[in-house]
Amino acid sequence: MRKFDIQDRVILDDMVDSFVVEMHKNQDEADLIDRRPIITREYWLQMIKELQNKIDSLTTQKALRNSNQYRNK
């Protein structure tokens, strides 16, 4: 199986980050109109963490270092 390289990892990180932003926006909008979302924020965050761990395990060490360097700032 081919591992994700730096270019793949940048795209995946961007996708995950975009999803997290939209998820928070959706959850906040639901709170404002006093609507209970079908899937809770905590569950989404748990699933995102699990997805991130799987992506990390399928990423080359160089790409992982690059991602950690620029993403965790």
| Residue 73 confidence (pLDDT) | 53
Model confidence at 69: pLDDT above 90: no
| Residue 11 confidence (pLDDT) | 94
- The answer for residues whose C-beta is within 8 angstroms of residue 66's C-beta and 6 or more apart is 6, 9
Model confidence at 37: pLDDT above 70: yes
Tell me the sheet residues that pair with 59.
4
Q: State which H helix or E strand residue 18 sits in.
A: helix 6-32
Q: What is the rounded average pLDDT of the residues 8-15?
A: 95
| Residue 29 confidence (pLDDT) | 94
Residues 13-37 as b/e (b if ≥16 CB within 10 A, e otherwise) read beeeeeeeeebeeebeeeeeeeeee
Domain limits, the chain? 6-71
In the structure, what pLDDT confidence band is assigned to residue 68 with cuts at 50, 70 and 90? Answer: confident
In the structure, what pLDDT confidence band is assigned to residue 72 with cuts at 50, 70 and 90? Answer: low
pTM for this entry? 0.82
